[in-house]
Structure 1
Amino acid sequence: MKNPVEALTRLGPIINQIASISGIPGVSVGVFHEGEYHLPYRVSFQAFTAFTCGVLVHEGLLDWQSPIRSFLPEFRSRVSEVQELASLVDLLSHRTGVPGGESLYFHAQPILNDSDIISTFAELPPLHPFRSQWLYNNLGYGIAAMAMSRQTGKQYEELLETRLIRPLKLNRTGVNYDTHGMKDVAKTYMIADEKEPVENSRPFFSAGSPMAAVGGITSSVDDLLVFYREVVHELLHQ
């Protein structure tokens, strides 16, 4: 790809079509190409959690394949296989077969307390056999964050800061990052019954909450490109 900007421009109609189907007014798209940034783009922040977890695995503080109960003995599930065998990989790749309870914590004031994460997961009935297919469950990320904290004695927010944000010199990334007074901040909206867009308050997770590993991170498109440059580099050189 000799001219990534030109190539990305040609994708404009397709990107606009995707935005139209999704019902969103706009989307930022970007490319990292041969050491240079070309426009910003948007991505899930769960990768930040998985990356930080991977650093702890590299440091010997966690293990990808060990049962999560080896780090959190109180972990439970209705499914005996999940309870005894589910690992960090299973939780982070959404393959436990247990559905999530997103409506419990994706609110401006989450209904789910941190102390309820494991007990809530334990009561969720399975929809698919363990490790048979992908099924979204963000509680797994909260549980993974709990394991990270248990093994290190540090809160998720501090682990993210010391293992990812500072080493990569990310300037506008953090848990519950203060965007007050900033003008260049993207907001989320939903369509109400009146068919008018209404601003949707982002979830607020208290300092140290494991559920911040799911949706409590704020970042900028420049920081995301720095992060994914590192991800690609590690994939190519591992």
Structure 2
Amino acid sequence: MKKSSFYLKIVVAVFFVPQLLLAQMSSKQIDSLISLTMDKFQVAGSAVAVVKDGKIIYEKGFGVKSKATNEPVDEYTNFAIASNSKAFTTTALALLVEEGKLDWNDRVIDHIPEFKMYNSYVTENFIIADLLTHRSGMGLGVGDLMFFPDGSDFTMKDLLNNFQYFKSVSPFRTQFDYDNLLYLVAGELIARTSGMSWEDFIQKRIFEPLGMDHSYPALDYVKNKDNLASPHNNDKGDFKVLPDYKEMINGAAGGIYANVHDLSQWMLVHLNHGTYGKDLENTLFSPSSQETMWTIHTVMRANKNPRYQSHFSGYGLGWGLQDELGNMVVSHTG
């Protein structure tokens, strides 16, 4: 494995392009590939950025923000990045861990006493890292209807009370089953520990230092909705603009709105092991925290497709981890 090579991809549209391929292409070739992919998958709009050697070398919008207006997407168009928000939540927790306010191995009940899982053993042994790694024993997408779609009136109090009624589908910490609810608990943990809402913490402690000036932790925070991509439904090429979805509890599982220009800064701080600035003179988080976030905590099946030559796959803290063609890939979809 080529340890010196590393690629980070963030998916902000409804399709993705293999990042190893992008790294070897010219701007015109990228333009052509994105246009072809959008046409193939019938995508209304998307935005793409590529960073290399500490710099943004490509950023561009494609298609339209809304089929109702046909206004073009640009590099500052905000998309709902959905579950790409999870890595912001884990990074926020890393900041609190570095400040000595939390430890990844702290029991959740020591910070949120009313947290109660499906049996007493799991409740008493559930640690902060378990909130983030999809190994709780609960099933895929458990409880999502408590906060999605719009119309739910469940509160965090309801959420914390209802975990005890979900049945386990696998033994604790033995199987990957993706969930969102436990990330909402992580957002509550950030709020209780910091004294700020999850949204304000993300805005003040991550967006502002990195200069992500046009990104927002929730729809209600978006100052100018003129450059906001609308969600669409596509039925056989007939696009229908859908209403925006508002997070009702907190946005820790998927509430952020961001653009590829700002997300390039997010990629760069991770590629630079937590440092940022013109001369990397500032530190957001330590290399130790990054190593923790980029370590596999839950093992998954490796991709068997021979084109990727993948040997391992797993989930870290808010990131998917695998190898492709001898390179380490850190990624997430949204």
Identity %: 24
1:131 paired residue number: 173
Residue 244 (structure 2) aligned to one of 202, 207, 213: 202
1:16/1:103 CA distance change after superposition, 3 Å = farther
Q: Deviations over 1:91-132 (max 9, x none)?
A: 112111213222331223434223211122222111222111
2:291 paired residue number: none
1:230/1:181 CA distance change after superposition, 3 Å = closer
Q: Distance in 2 between matches of 1:97 and 1:8?
A: 47
Residue 178 (structure 1) aligned to one of 222, 232, 251: 222
Q: Is the deviation greater in 70-79 or in 152-161? A: 152-161
Higher strand share: 2
1:219 paired residue number: 258
1:91 aligns with 2:135: no
Q: Distance in 2 between matches of 1:124 and 1:18?
A: 39
TM-superposed CA distance for 1:200, in Å, is 2.8
Normalising by structure 1, we get a TM-score of 0.82
TM-superposed CA distance for 1:144, in Å, is 0.8
1:123/1:164 CA distance change after superposition, 3 Å = same
1:220/1:71 CA distance change after superposition, 3 Å = same
Q: Which amino acid aligns with 1:9?
A: Q
Residue 48 (structure 2) aligned to one of 20, 29, 50: 29
8 A Cα contact 1:145 1:213, kept in partner? yes
Normalising by structure 2, we get a TM-score of 0.60
Residue 9 (structure 1) aligned to one of 29, 40, 45: 29
Residue 39 (structure 1) aligned to one of 59, 64, 72: 59
8 A Cα contact 2:114 2:161, kept in partner? no
8 A Cα contact 2:138 2:170, kept in partner? yes
Q: Distance in 1 between matches of 2:144 and 2:96?
A: 27
8 A Cα contact 2:118 2:166, kept in partner? yes
Q: Deviations over 1:69-108 (max 9, x none)?
A: 1111111111334312222211112111213222331223
Higher helix share: 1
8 A Cα contact 1:108 1:202, kept in partner? no
TM-superposed CA distance for 1:68, in Å, is 1.0
8 A Cα contact 1:19 1:26, kept in partner? no
Structure 1 residues not aligned, in runs of 5+: none
TM-superposed CA distance for 1:152, in Å, is 2.3
SS in 2 for 1:229: helix
TM-superposed CA distance for 1:4, in Å, is 5.1
Q: Which amino acid aligns with 2:272?
A: H
| Structure-to-structure mapping, 1:46-195, within 5 angstroms | 46-99=86-139, 100-174=142-216, 175-176=218-219, 177-178=221-222, 180-182=224-226, 184-191=227-234
1:235/1:152 CA distance change after superposition, 3 Å = closer
Residue 231 (structure 1) aligned to one of 258, 267, 270: 270
Q: Which amino acid aligns with 1:106?
A: F
Structure 2 residues not aligned, in runs of 5+: 1-19, 61-74, 276-286, 289-334
SS in 1 for 2:48: coil
SS in 1 for 2:233: strand
Q: Deviations over 1:51-79 (max 9, x none)?
A: 11111111111111111111111111113
SS in 2 for 1:167: helix
Q: Distance in 2 between matches of 1:16 and 1:82?
A: 48
Q: Distance in 2 between matches of 1:49 and 1:200?
A: 27
8 A Cα contact 2:231 2:243, kept in partner? yes
Q: CA RMSD in A?
A: 3.1
